[in-house]
Structures are given as structure tokens and as C-alpha cells.
Amino acid sequence: MSHERLGGSKTHSQVSGVCHGTFKNDVEAIHELRNFVTYLPGSNRERAPVVNTGDFRHRSCTHLETIIPADANIAYDMKDVVSAILDTDTFFEIMPNYAKNMVVGLGRMEGQTVCVIANQPKGLAGVLDINSSVKAARMVRFADCFNIPILTFVDVPGFLPGTAQEYGGIIRHGSKLLFAFSEATVPKITVITRKAYGGAYDVMSSKHLRGDINYAWPSAEIAVMGAAGACNILFRGQPPEKIAEEVGRYNRLFCTPAEAAKRGFLDEVISPASTRSRVCEDLERLKSKSLKNPTKKHDNIPL
């Protein structure tokens, strides 16, 4: 085995997750590092910096109205959603080649630094697994360390099943993301674009984890699982016509965000085109947010 394969840049940026980025040469690495630092405050006691990006709060985002495919099984690129809502050309992605089912990074909204956590439907359908959970948890805690608001985009079908994940401790590692979101005291805004199923819905900065503002697009589905899977379990042994009828009822009830909004799990169902302006307004209101966790020596993160 070569040294490169054992512990080179590709191994650590794509497989182990030890390395957060790779670059062609030293000059590019220094340039990108300088860019990264511009998103950060001078210390953990300062607010995240604000720069003039020249972008307009009410910039048109009408193309987001058609970005979600009609077929729930067809993937789309969540980075297109993120880029459309953030200030133009300000998304700085971190760990782009590791756990590609999760997108994390820094960006700006009206010049204010924000942290982005987003499921990526183009990678394993956006499912949560061990690597993506730890990747996102670390980013959430980093943002909370430096007083950076967290903007979360959700399209998650659940946790990845299988013995490899179970034997690897998916419950323990997945709970790191839940812990990170629940502990974070910075402003937290969540937008559910499509699927938000089961425990993965809860983990992705839901209201249950002290989310400040939780939105859903009209295309959102908030449920334990998809209609066919749920009804085949609930009505096992029933005639196919009965199951088909229940699938239709399940779809009417849960394949819209109305029931979740009725129960207070969402603040509002909004149009995709209005997302940027709404998030900018919310960030402005949440600047004065003050939340302290119980006094203790330190929290006991599930390591």
C-alpha cells in the first residue's frame, strides 16, 4: 500500500474525514484559507462579521418554485437551493468530498455570516448515516462556538439502515447531531424543502430541538415514513384495495405540511420564492436572541 493511499490527501478528505479540504498547491490553499477567515469573528466573544455584498433582500428567487421534482424519487441538487438563497457567490463549502449526502459550509445573508447545514438528495438520497451525522454535528458546534447563526435545509428520508451502520454505532453518532443542535444557542432557522421522515426529521434542527423559526415549502412531507411503506406495515394482510385506499389517505394527511403546521411543529408554510427574504428578516429579528444553557462544568456530548 502506498503512503498516499494510507494517509494522503484523498484518503483523509474523502474517506476518513480528517481533512476538511484539498487544494492544487500552496498558493490556492492560502487564498482559500484567507477567504475562510473572513467569515469568522475575531474571537468567540464577538459577533459574526457583516460585509457589504451588494445583494438585495428581495432578489427574485422564482426559479425555486420549480426546483423540486414532481416525482419524489428524483434527486435535485441542494447546493442550487443554498446558492439561490444565500448572497450571490458567497457559499464556502467545507468537507465537500466527504459524506456527500450532507452539505455544510459558511455563507452570507445580506452580508451577515451564516452556517449552512443541508441534506443532499444527490448523495444517498440525503439519508443520515454515521459520517454525515458527525460531519454536520461538528459544523453546528463550530458555528455555535463563534456566534454564527445556523440555516438548515431539510430533505431527509431517514437514517441509513443496515448492519454496517448499526454495528458502527449509528445511534451514538447520530445523537451527536441531535445534541449539537439542541445545545446550540445561536439563531436557528430551518427550511424543509421536501421529505422529513422519522427520527431524522427530529434531528435536523426541528422545533423539538429549540429551533427558532421552522418553515416548510408546500412540497414538504413530514411523517414517520413514506405512504406506501407505512401503509404496508400498518395494514399488512389487508386486501390491496384497502391498502391503496389508506395510501391515498396517508398522502392527503402527511404529504403536505398542513398537519405539522396545525400541531405547531412549523411556524409557517412559505413559498420557495419568498425564502430568501423571509430568512433575512428572521436573522434581523434574531440578532437580539439571548439563550443560556444550564450552568455546569461542561455538557456530556455522546462521544
Answer whether 160's CB lies under 8 Å from 199's CB: no
- Give the residue among 29, 284, 46 at the shortest CA–CA distance from 145: 46
pLDDT at 27 over 90: yes
More confident residue, 12 or 157: 157
Give the pLDDT score at 243: 87
Looking at every residue in the chain, the average pLDDT score rounds to 92
pLDDT of residue 9: 80
List all residues 6 or more positions away from 179 whose beta carbon is below 8 Å from its beta carbon: 137, 299, 301, 302
Q: With contact defined as beta carbons under 8 Å apart, do 138 and 99 qualify?
A: no
Max Cα distance, the chain (Å): 66
C-alpha R_g of the chain: 20
Q: Which fold has domain 21-220+258-288?
A: 2-enoyl-CoA Hydratase; Chain A, domain 1 (3.90.226)
C-alpha cell of residue 282:
428572521
What are the boundaries of each domain within the chain?
A: 21-220+258-288, 221-255
User: What average pLDDT score do residues 125-134 get?
Assistant: 96
Nearest to 216 by CA among 294, 160, 278: 278
CB–CB of 266/260 below 8 Å?
Answer: yes
Average pLDDT over residues 230-252: 86
